[in-house]
Structure 1
């Protein structure tokens, strides 16, 4: 069952610490590796049936009264992501076995976090319920936070983990608000039901706000501009984490969310413009900034941002097809962008995963990732160099690698945008191919930098921390497999397209399944003749070579962007300002003075409750049904009032404590008058214990501050006390005349039949509320013991004097 596939990584994560402690001679990764391999093989068996149009639903009731069930839904889209999560996860764990030393690293923690993340990602892509999806969504943020901060002794690791969590969790909370809006509109948490019934709600007032909030969650998670700033700092994580989270899985969660909700919001102009433009801006900005990086992982981080922007823009462009009827010829043309997005999603996971592992090998075997210190590694690390060429050239969009195919299809999609005549795009349509081409040029440049600056040129052993050498075979297996897939997907793209990409497309664009030309529009070919796309590619290569050769002459352009105006600096300054201001604000009211705290609490009660009562007109007093007040009750009430009014004007703490005790004992007399001796006895005990505690504290308190004896303070105390007392009294009197439910007292009238008791109070305390009463007695016992211990431990006066002298 799919539900078990989601839960199994969490179950194994509970066992990992035991394995780590008991099997110290064997690397823990070998046992953890079994989990993703088994899950991958389990999911592979669904490929033929899903390719033929089957979907699978497994539901486990969770909170059925609220419509929240643990529903796992497997279709073409979720299958693509699940295979990446488990397939790349298997290769990453295999890679980590050789990358992380079992002697120097806390592998128990690492693999627990990694399995938590794997289970959370599977939960995201399989969940049909909005609330369950959100649960797993935030679990990915928490587990990625732990993975990024794995080397917590490093300041930058802690900073990167905090940054990623703040940004992604903030977006996740916005996404939750969008989910609640969707469920409010359509009265369901099921994504399938929302997709089926969305047509009647596109004009709803909450439709656009829900859309924007869902996109906020997707953009923060998939590092779209301007939320991309967390991804470069997350590179402080170990390289296996970067290869898994930041190339193949976590950052793809936002892509998945946009693809999943395209049938809901696609076709709307706001969705088209926001998704497309954010994707294009991210594509350009990521590629532009990748060129200037000197750290290999930072370069890959910005390249990942750029590639995610490319996929996001394709999803936005493809949503335009939903504007037309499914049988319209234009629909097929624009919907190809969705197919291309899914195709490039898979391609990117293969070549970028391989590149992250290559960079990890370079770092592992040379001790540095600084491009300025590297060079001449081609002959020393020939296998790693070959893998770098395959991954980088695929990223640059060169044949014979899979990135070339999806890049050509991307050019086709942005050229098709220029033919759109709706969404007010007529004027701005040319910007899409222009920005795409410029970003592709920068992509070519940074791909060449990665290969040639690292592996060609002069070798500089004196700048390396280690003597460079080729990685062990075990560390090369995973990137070799991924690099092989890069080439295989180029020569056999339609095998991938038929069995994985096409079913994924059907899940994103269900209304297009079965229309005329559906089966023929997904043919992937490496050669389409001499067309505009090929000319754009040739221009990218030619102009990219020129820029690479002239890099020293134009790198100064980056100086035009002062660091103090960068988004990173804005984030850091905003965070620092918030911390400073919150500290100042907290210090203003957290004075350490109990008197101040009580004043704040009572004033807040007065303002909030009085405001609500004034707004609702809730207070209404009717004394016609009240019992008459006897002379004894009136006399005691008057004495209590005088006592209470005297407390604010007491001249010492001792006087105030005694007056407060008088109030408590007078209240016990009321219980005697009302024939409740049990309550009276309880009140006497509690009041005695409270008075003893007050006196005990009084013994250690410093001299009463002079400010407390000022007339101004006393008047304010009296005003607050009288106001709160009046408000509570009015509320209590009003409650008697606002009964919304029948009294339960009639149930206790049968105390003799139900509990064999002739005293209703005893029956309530001893039978109906037996456990509650027992716990109350235990609390009183603990309080009494505490008072006794404090009194017995009270130091003598001479001992206190010695302590003072010692200080």
Structure 2
């Protein structure tokens, strides 16, 4: 039976198949083969839309680690449906776009493998009910996005952007993991549904607020919220299909999904409300302001994406105020902010995806994205201009485009929330509409920059690398489809609202029940209300500011880049790198003797202090077996050999004395009636001694300081201290046995594991998992050695350059 779990795994399965068949599939067709995966998944998920509209949910579980409550459980409801459709639908369009955008001499197979892994990771994030499984897929998106951003790894900026996004998002992911663990401690379950059901029992728990903060930290880093937004502009060094997919429709929406999913858990309180709303508003206005100063079209779109994400995030924060009043009729009106967030989430994916693609087309056709070198392209690229006009005007909130509808709902939500008398809104609530209006003006200005600076004005052929022209129709089809959706949603918004958005509202506010209609009737005309006058003011002010841009753009000099968060990140990274390098150079001397000294000193200090502090060094030897004369003789021989090693001046003598110690241990095994261990010790010691002698010629000469008295005394103290601590531990363990020896359990190896040899049974059965991991480590080490040998022997190879 085909399940949602299997739908999540299909991209991973396809990613595994591509390397096996890539030599049999032409580069011209590999993209079309990959296209089948997101297209089929989109159709499969779309088939559940009627069921979701009726309030149904679908749950599938594959047992994974049931003993600790970690199972692969997928949960398909209205909220996850929206994100699933965006991931697969936009993913299918991006694959088509990639087929025509990427050259055939690119590493296409790598690209599509990374893309499929990311797609599967995102589906796993939005469909997982188990928070540990969600975290697994969450970090998988970070790793795959790192590979996609660094796809053009020969570019220095691509590597820098990939590293930056990875460090910030993975760091936030670790924080989120800690928050998830706290939720488990509070609820005793990893299931999101069960956590939501137990929210009344955990809201007063001491870990509730820390868990909230850590989960939000993960969400903010992933969705590029202030001040973690700095990774997104640098990630624009990725190929345009990656930017259109990851940074407009999917990856950056993962944090928004997390906030929406956990609103029933943490929502309703002042802390949740102000953190999300405040961070959203700051992100929105700061990013929209900085977008205007950009001269690279993709950088401009990156900041515009950050701003739009801040808008959506603030709406989810404001919508959480509905839970303050409980699931009552009074609070339904405040849920409209969440409805607006979901609506703008979809709208943003359409117009921003189209804009990223068309900017990629401009770069692909004329060889630059620099606004200062562009202009007059409307005569050469009329289709691209039309798509840009639709996408930009929708982003600016101009009528006849879907962005206008959701922007109006945003203004309505801000006005409604500002009138509340909770969460100190009576004091500062009036500022929210002002901030929203100013940020919208900036949005209008940079939207006009995209259209008019690129397609109007003088055509600067001498500044372009190629003659401007429309690309192949295959590259235009995906943005055309998205642009058409922008217009269609404006005229028929309630189809989306009734069948997709309303079921998601029920997922975010499960306490209202199926009899409460959380949907909103979306209308294109509301009359001359406050929101419309605000929009008119935005358009008029935006036009004036755009026409006077050269006169006031100097204000950006008040915010020099050397004091930016990017510079703070770079300096912090440089400081850490320098300090760690200095510390490493202090102890990484290149001599094994020094490394052993560190290890033994740490052991003496840690174990010795623990023994003294706990009083565990007491022992009683009165009941021990008496020591025979032969054993004393062997002890004296070993002591003599060990002490002599410290004073010899020849490596050959040291190797031979070391061999005496090893063979003496084998003799002890014979005395203690352990012939198997004695044989093993003899073989190991013989091989070790032979290897020492074989490598004798290559050993470095002893330094002069190795012969001085200070060095020898240090070696004696460390040797005696280590031996003494080991003896005290052994005697203490023998004297203070609190439990029955585990050896008696292994004595039943034949009955428990069917093994005649107890050692083999322990390695192969009782601790088979540990043995498997050891073998796995050896395999990785072997692969590394083999790769280094192959790289050294390779004559050619692609040269990595810093561009």
Q: TM-score, normalised by structure 2?
A: 0.91
Give how far 1:741 is off: 4.2
Q: Distance in 1 between matches of 2:298 and 2:481?
A: 21
Give how far 1:737 is off: 2.7
SS of 1:369's equivalent in the other structure is coil
Q: Distance in 1 between matches of 2:457 and 2:754?
A: 97
Q: Distance in 1 between matches of 2:514 and 2:751?
A: 72
Q: Distance in 1 between matches of 2:28 and 2:570?
A: 43
Q: Distance in 2 between matches of 1:58 and 1:770?
A: 35
Give how far 1:18 is off: 4.5
Give how far 1:471 is off: 2.5
Q: Distance in 1 between matches of 2:517 and 2:130?
A: 31
Equivalent residues of 2:747, 2:758 under 8 A apart: no
Q: Deviations over 1:65-103 (max 9, x none)?
A: 12111101000000000001111111111122221232x
1:67 and 2:69 correspond = yes
SS of 2:375's equivalent in the other structure is coil
Cα distance change, pair 382–337 in 1 and its aligned pair in 2 (3 A): same
Cα distance change, pair 200–598 in 1 and its aligned pair in 2 (3 A): same
Q: Distance in 1 between matches of 2:750 and 2:487?
A: 86
Alignment of 1:155-554 (within 5 A): 155-329=156-330, 331-514=331-514, 518-519=516-517, 522-554=520-552
1:730 and 2:728 correspond = yes
Q: When the two structures are aligned, how many residues end up with a matched partner?
A: 766
* Correspondence for 1:116: 117
Equivalent residues of 1:332, 1:521 under 8 A apart: no
SS of 1:609's equivalent in the other structure is helix
Q: Distance in 2 between matches of 1:396 and 1:423?
A: 31
Instruction: Decide which of 21, 43, 50 is 2:23's aligned counterpart.
Output: 21
Q: Distance in 2 between matches of 1:699 and 1:243?
A: 60
* Correspondence for 1:650: 648
Alignment of 1:676-715 (within 5 A): 676-715=674-713
SS of 1:736's equivalent in the other structure is helix
* Correspondence for 2:144: 143
Q: Deviations over 1:590-612 (max 9, x none)?
A: 11111111101101111222233
Q: Deviations over 1:267-305 (max 9, x none)?
A: 122111111111001001110011111111111110000
Give how far 1:662 is off: 3.1
Alignment of 1:778-789 (within 5 A): none
* Correspondence for 1:785: none
Q: Distance in 1 between matches of 2:444 and 2:742?
A: 78
* Correspondence for 2:794: none
Q: Distance in 2 between matches of 1:770 and 1:226?
A: 51
Equivalent residues of 2:27, 2:108 under 8 A apart: no
Give how far 1:669 is off: 3.6
Q: Distance in 2 between matches of 1:62 and 1:179?
A: 18
* Correspondence for 2:14: 12
Q: Distance in 2 between matches of 1:275 and 1:767?
A: 56
Cα distance change, pair 686–521 in 1 and its aligned pair in 2 (3 A): closer
Q: Distance in 1 between matches of 2:621 and 2:367?
A: 85
Cα distance change, pair 268–745 in 1 and its aligned pair in 2 (3 A): closer
Equivalent residues of 2:57, 2:75 under 8 A apart: yes
Cα distance change, pair 566–723 in 1 and its aligned pair in 2 (3 A): same
Equivalent residues of 1:19, 1:28 under 8 A apart: no
Give how far 1:625 is off: 2.4
* Correspondence for 2:782: none
SS of 2:73's equivalent in the other structure is strand
Equivalent residues of 1:373, 1:463 under 8 A apart: yes
Q: Distance in 2 between matches of 1:672 and 1:222?
A: 66
Q: Distance in 1 between matches of 2:268 and 2:11?
A: 38
* Correspondence for 1:622: 620
Q: Distance in 1 between matches of 2:27 and 2:593?
A: 61
Give how far 1:637 is off: 2.6
Runs of at least 5 residues in structure 2 that lack an aligned partner in the other structure: 776-803
Q: Distance in 2 between matches of 1:301 and 1:208?
A: 32
* Correspondence for 1:105: 106
Give how far 1:656 is off: 3.2
Q: Distance in 2 between matches of 1:594 and 1:196?
A: 57
Q: TM-score, normalised by structure 1?
A: 0.91
Q: Deviations over 1:383-442 (max 9, x none)?
A: 111111111110000101111111111111111222222223322212211111110000
Give how far 1:519 is off: 2.5
Q: Deviations over 1:459-517 (max 9, x none)?
A: 111211111112322222111111111111111111111101111111111112346xx
Cα distance change, pair 718–531 in 1 and its aligned pair in 2 (3 A): same
Instruction: Decide which of 707, 718, 721 is 1:720's aligned counterpart.
Output: 718
Q: Distance in 2 between matches of 1:752 and 1:138?
A: 43
Q: Distance in 1 between matches of 2:394 and 2:751?
A: 84
SS of 1:378's equivalent in the other structure is helix
Equivalent residues of 1:76, 1:503 under 8 A apart: yes
* Structure whose CA Rg is larger: 1
Cα distance change, pair 73–466 in 1 and its aligned pair in 2 (3 A): same
Give how far 1:703 is off: 3.5
Give how far 1:640 is off: 3.0
Which segments of structure 1 move beyond 4 Å, counting only runs of 4 or more? 744-757, 762-772
Equivalent residues of 1:263, 1:509 under 8 A apart: yes
Equivalent residues of 2:505, 2:518 under 8 A apart: no
Give how far 1:771 is off: 10
Q: Deviations over 1:531-556 (max 9, x none)?
A: 22112111111111111011001111
Equivalent residues of 2:339, 2:519 under 8 A apart: no
Across the aligned residues of Structure 1 and Structure 2, the Cα RMSD in angstroms comes to 2.5
* Correspondence for 1:795: none
Q: Distance in 2 between matches of 1:499 and 1:314?
A: 21
* Correspondence for 2:671: 673
SS of 1:208's equivalent in the other structure is helix
* Correspondence for 1:591: 589
Compare 636-645 and 308-317 and name the one that shifted more: 636-645
Cα distance change, pair 770–208 in 1 and its aligned pair in 2 (3 A): closer
